[in-house]
Amino acid sequence: MFAKALIPFLSLALIVRAAPSHKSDCGNGHLASNSQCCVWYDVLDDIQTNLFDGGECGEEAHESLRLTFHDAIGFSPALFREGKFGQVLHGGGADGSIMAFPIETTFKASAGLDEIVGEQKPFALKHNVSFGDFIQFAGAVGVSNCRGGPRLQFLAGRSNHSQVSPDGLIPLPEDPVDKILARMADAGFSPAEVVDLLASHTVAAQDHVDPTIHGSPFDSTPSDFDAQFFVETLLKGVAFPGNGSNVGEVLSPYPGEMRLQSDAAIARDPRTACEWQSFIANQELMVRKFEKVMAKMAVLGQDPRKLIDCSEVIPVPKPAASQVAHLPAGKNLKDIQVSCKHIPFPTIKADPGPETSIPVVPAS
């Protein structure tokens, strides 16, 4: 019953409110439909310069996007029904608790997030905005710096009232698909929406599954929000990119490229394989579905009717270098482990260039 009662609140997050005819002058050439959005232009200018290195799709952008999920997914209607955590609204979720309570960054699934939390928190305090708002804003701005990226909805007005999330609510890369889908279903996400959220891995990298290859990406184009991740995860694995097999890692198709066990399994599971395959030849569909599912995730535990739509502050991303995914050089369709049994695998071209090798980002 709780989950059904929550659906209208979540769907409201997808409604773009009509802008009033008069816009507020925020200074520096910025206009806002609501004067309460003006502060976010100041935050934008500050973090693009001083957090994202002038608007790059780099490690801080990747980690900021990761942080949006790790903060929001600490939300469990099942625990609420058992009387163990939260309430109908303000029951965890996208409330900034991961920034308010350092213990959350010690959870195994959030290893390494203490660094980006430490970088972000001074900006939130400086501009006097809530931690929950800042985390979602920084994630949206960060991913907009990636070519081909989404322009995520941003709703502001979360309070700084939060509580520590219980451990164990964030899926781990070594978790079986059944466990991941069950946890995500508890938070309100279908198997297809789990795949939609994993589009974030097209601009992601790992630091702690194998710390010897810090910064190794999940596909060959980590600065582009493109469909290469969905192609390359289906390639046959041939080697481990670092010091051998690690927990949560499976064989990768290339030197320097990391493949998470959970990504490989979800790509091949009959409940998710067709959604996974659908993005390979449809960049626009991938971005659109990611925008939709992120709008849903960003208001977990919140009442979006009480929030203000400040999406106009989020920058418009530049187009991806390529709008069409391809088979990397040295690979052919025989290397693809086709897992969707009902829909033919899309026609994609092979890269005629030299065989791909992914450079590893050295540990700082």
Q: Terminus-to-terminus CA distance in the chain, angstroms?
A: 49
| 3-state DSSP assignment of residue 341 | coil
**Sign, CA torsion 64/70/73/74:** negative
Residue 351 annotated in ligand binding: no
Residue 175 annotated in ligand binding: no
Residue 30 annotated in ligand binding: no
Residue 233 annotated in ligand binding: no
Distance CA 119, CA 64 (A): 10
- Provide CB contacts within 8 A for 313, sequence distance 6+: 32, 37, 40, 41, 44, 137, 154
- Provide CB contacts within 8 A for 126, sequence distance 6+: 46
Distance CA 301, CA 282 (A): 32
- State the DSSP code for 82: T
Q: Which residues are catalytic?
A: 70
Residue 201 annotated in ligand binding: yes
Residue 93 annotated in ligand binding: yes
Residue 221 annotated in ligand binding: yes
Residue 97 annotated in ligand binding: yes
Residue 114 annotated in ligand binding: no
Helix axes of 177-186 and 261-268: crossing angle, nearest 10 degrees: 90
Residue 43, class by beta-carbon neighbours within 10 Å (0-12 exposed, 13-18 middle, 19+ buried)? buried
The number of C-alpha atoms within 13 Å of 72 and in the hemisphere containing its C-beta is 28
Which residues are annotated as part of the binding site for Ca(2+)? 71, 93, 95, 97, 202, 219, 221, 226
Which residues are annotated as part of the binding site for heme b? 201
Which residues are annotated as part of the binding site? 71, 93, 95, 97, 201-202, 219, 221, 226
